[in-house]
Structure 1
Amino acid sequence: MKAAYGGDASPRRRTCRNVCLAATAAVFVATIVLVILCLTVFKAKNPTTTVNSAVLKDLDVSLNIPRVSVDVNLTLGVDLSVKNPNKVGFKYKNSTASLNYRGTQVGEAQIGSGKISADQTKPMNVTLTIMADRLLGKSSELFSDVRAGTLPLNTFTKISGKVIVLGIFKIHVVSTSSCDFSIDVGNRTVGQQRCTHKTKL
């Protein structure tokens, strides 16, 4: 009886060992394939934020020469687009766009959270308005610029989010765009923009 039992056990052990080896090999191969996919097809790429145009919606300028002061009310419409080059969706959280005058933030607009599908470019429109109280420390420069007829401004947009690869890996990314331009006070037009774009994984 013992000999018969032992004879049956050896093939069973070999079968179990073969099954374990096959399972291990399958897991190993699947892991290698997953890594290759993550490094090639599903490798996270940086979303790109682009400022397509800036349009002057409203501009009121009141110059007080005796007091060497000026009041400026300005509203700017900015047309943005964010391109997601990834093969998976890009989820971004609440972000911001700011309006700056000579290094000082003078306006801000919120960009609500959302999602951009794979290989999609999503248009966004934000409205930036100068907050008069933030110009108080720049009164002399503002007076000189308005008298010269040109108002130098900058828009800065920052969009943060994450790309989820294969439903497992979460990769955080930040995309920014900074544009310098000028407002022709007399003609009430927006001059040529000079933009730089940066992305960070």
Structure 2
Amino acid sequence: MDVKDADGGGGGGKGRKRRNICIGIGVCVGIIVIVIIIVVILAFTVFKAKRPVIRIDSIALDDLDVSFDIPRLRVNLNVSLDTTISVKNTNKVGFKYAPSSALLNYRGQLIGEVPIPAGKISAGETAAMNLTLTLMGDRFLSTPEAFSDAMSGALPLNTSTKISGKVNILNMFHVHVVSSSTCDFTVNIANRTVVDQQCKYKTKL
């Protein structure tokens, strides 16, 4: 009788131990699931990736030299533009962007370029970039309309900037972001001013 009681008591102890282990595993799994759900909710609500906003704040002439070769229907032109660009990171986390360039175009022809080095913008921060775009004379002269536009006193130019990077959410989700801006404007040769400026902005995730 004593032997049977001892065996029965041992079996019950093993059963309770198994139940405790199963309960412990269930609690751990439940906690992990809850944590995952919370992380996903935060990733798609509070830390949801947002579009950084790129703006061209100002375009001003830094230098302008022009001379005409009437017999050859040529124009010698040197133009430098001071451009201020701001990039606002609207995310709750930092935004890292790759090296890029700001481009100066004349009637669809690339005539100037300045590099934008890679960098990082903290959460909610606005980074200002001061760039100097210098016209490449040989490329400008290769455009058929160069002489007539210079003679008219108005040069239609365009600047374009594209910045691409990643938003790292909770060190788990990486969202690729591209933000770009283009500005059409005219350089008035007579009074050395920038007029008729119109800009467009685009961002995609």
Same fold (TM > 0.5): yes
Per the alignment, residue 76 of structure 2 pairs with 71
Separation of aligned partners in 2, 1:180 and 1:153: 6
What residue number does 1:191 align with? 195
- The structure having more radius of gyration, on CA atoms, is 2
Displacement of 1:161 = 1.0
List gaps (5 residues or longer) in structure 1. none
Q: Which moved more, 1:97-106 or 1:15-24?
A: 15-24
Quote the residue 1:132 is aligned against: 137
1:191 aligned counterpart, secondary structure: strand
d(CA) in 2 for partners of 1:7 and 1:180?
Answer: 84
Alignment map for 1:81-100 (pairs within 5 Å)? 81-100=86-105
| Superposed counterparts of 1:7-22, under 5 Å | 7-22=12-27
- 1:90-142 residue CA offsets vs partner (Å, 9 max, x unmatched): 0112111000000011000011111101011111111100111212320x301
1:166 matched residue in structure 2: 170
2-structure distance, mates of 1:65, 1:43: 60
Give the whole-Å Cα distance in 1 for the aligned partners of 2:50 and 2:28: 33
**Which of 91, 112, 117 in structure 2 is aligned with 1:112?**
117
- Tell me the TM-score normalized by structure 1: 0.96
Q: Partner amino acid for 1:79?
A: T
Partner in structure 2 of residue 154 of structure 1? 158
Aligned-partner Cα distance in 2 for 1:5–1:61 = 102
Give the aligned partner of residue 48 of structure 2.
43
Residue pair 2:75, 2:141 contacting (<8 A) in 1 also: no
Aligned to 1:181: 185
CA RMSD, Structure 1 to Structure 2 (Å): 1.0
Report what 2:32 is aligned to: 27
- TM-score for both structures, normalised by structure 2: 0.94
Deviation at 1:178, TM superposition (A): 0.3
Task: State the alpha-carbon separation in 1 of the partners of residues 149 and 141 from structure 2.
Answer: 14
SS of 2:110's equivalent in the other structure is strand
* Amino-acid identity (%): 50
